[in-house]
């Protein structure tokens, strides 16, 4: 018998959505986080409680709710990770005056 609270989230997947999420589980070409988020949705659709899902995938209940909410609002596209800020590192540009001030001593 499942333990934990019953969730107010009830997800019914279309056959196409289920097929996509199952394909993510078998794929070796997608990020592991995306596969894990797909697994969360599959487990919830199969009737597992949020507490049990959190234990099974190694995430907190809050994160489970976050991904379920995004799936409900945006579908499978909502499970893609969004960068909060630009992570690119821009090389520091030196002006020519800095390059001319270097002394080379032999």
Alpha-carbon distance 52 to 12, whole Å?
19
In a domain, 93, yes or no: no
What pLDDT was estimated at residue 101?
A: 58
Quote the domain boundaries for residue 43: 15-78
Specify the higher pLDDT residue, 23 or 6: 23
Provide the number of structural domains found in the chain: 1
Q: pTM of this prediction?
A: 0.70
Q: Summarize pLDDT for 39-65 with one digit per residue, the tens.
A: 999 999 999 999 999 999 999 999 999
Assign residue 47 a region: left if phi > 0, alpha if psi is -120 to 50, beta otherwise? left
Q: Summarize pLDDT for 68-103 with one digit per residue, the tens.
A: 999 999 998 889 877 655 556 555 554 555 555 555
Specify the higher pLDDT residue, 7 or 35: 35
What pLDDT was estimated at residue 7?
A: 56
In a domain, 10, yes or no: no
What pLDDT was estimated at residue 100?
A: 57
Alpha-carbon distance 42 to 27, whole Å?
15
- 64: burial class by Cβ within 10 Å (0-12, 13-18, 19+)? buried
In a domain, 45, yes or no: yes
Looking up residue 25, the CATH number of its domain turns out to be 1.10.10
């Amino acid at each position: 018998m499942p333990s934990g609270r019953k969730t107010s989230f009830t997800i019914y997947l279309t056959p196409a959505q289920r097929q996509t999420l199952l394909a993510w589980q078998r794929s070796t070409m997608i990020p592991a986080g995306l596969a894990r988020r797909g697994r969360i949705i599959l487990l919830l659709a199969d009737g597992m409680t949020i507490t049990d899902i959190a234990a099974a995938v190694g995430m907190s209940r809050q994160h489970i709710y976050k991904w379920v909410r995004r799936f409900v609002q945006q579908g499978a596209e909502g499970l893609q990770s969004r960068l909060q800020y630009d992570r690119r590192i821009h090389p520091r540009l030196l002006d020519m005056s800095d390059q001319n001030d270097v002394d080379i001593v032999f």
